[in-house]
Each structure stands twice: as structure tokens, then as C-alpha cells.
Amino acid sequence: MIKIILAHNYFDPKGLIDVISDMQKMGAPKIRIVHFENNVYQAIEGCHRLRAAAALGVTPDFEELDGGTLRSEVDGLDYDDGNDPSTTTVNSIGDWENTTLTFED
């Protein structure tokens, strides 16, 4: 089992229904993650896709990034928490208090 902490807790219920529908057609998503400890990882993207995968019982294709990678070095990463992406690493995204989902590994 692999535990994934979401980058944020917000989700749009209608948007989630749309993502579930898309995922039923396209299959498992690819999600970038950072290792924290044991089998606990932090997602740096894809909160709706992770919720959809969990609802469908699908395990995403996880791509593990080095926690020291700068946010500015990650294509398509637009998570804005007010920190400068050119000096902030990906392991600073999210919070241990956020929703955690469990997937088969």
C-alpha cells in the first residue's frame, strides 16, 4: 500500500464527476509525488485525478521526484502558495493535515 497526501483539500464536486468520466475513458493518470517516509508520499499535483482514481479503484502511475527539486524546474506545476517557485522546493507543497488516500503499489 502507498499513502498519498493531497497537495490541498479543496475539490469541486462537479469537476470531480467530469474527471471520473474522463478517467474511465483514458485510464490511470500519471501523478508526480515526493517521498516523505516509509510508504507515505506527497502529491505535488492532481488532487482531482487522485480522488477520481480512488473512487474508481485505479492506482495512478506515480512519478517520484527528488524533494530538493525547485518548483520552477517542474513543467506545468502552477501550485501557488505565495512562495517563489525559483527558490522553493517541491517537498514544501502541501501539508500533513491534508487528506490522505491509499492505493495499491
Q: What is the pTM of this model?
A: 0.88
Bridge partners of 41, per DSSP, are 4, 35
The string of pLDDT tens digits covering residues 68-82 is 889 888 887 776 777
Mean pLDDT of the chain: 90
The string of pLDDT tens digits covering residues 19-48 is 999 999 999 999 999 998 888 999 999 999
More confident residue, 26 or 94: 26
Residue 35 confidence (pLDDT): 92
Q: Are 29 and 62 in contact (CB under 8 A)?
A: no
Residue 4 burial by Cβ neighbours in a 10 Å radius (0-12, 13-18, 19+):
buried
- Per-residue b/e over 59-79, b at no fewer than 16 CB within 10 Å? ebebeebeeebebeebeebeb
Residue 23 confidence (pLDDT): 96
Residue 17 confidence (pLDDT): 97
| Domain 2-103 top-level CATH class | alpha beta
**Structural domain boundaries in the chain:** 2-103
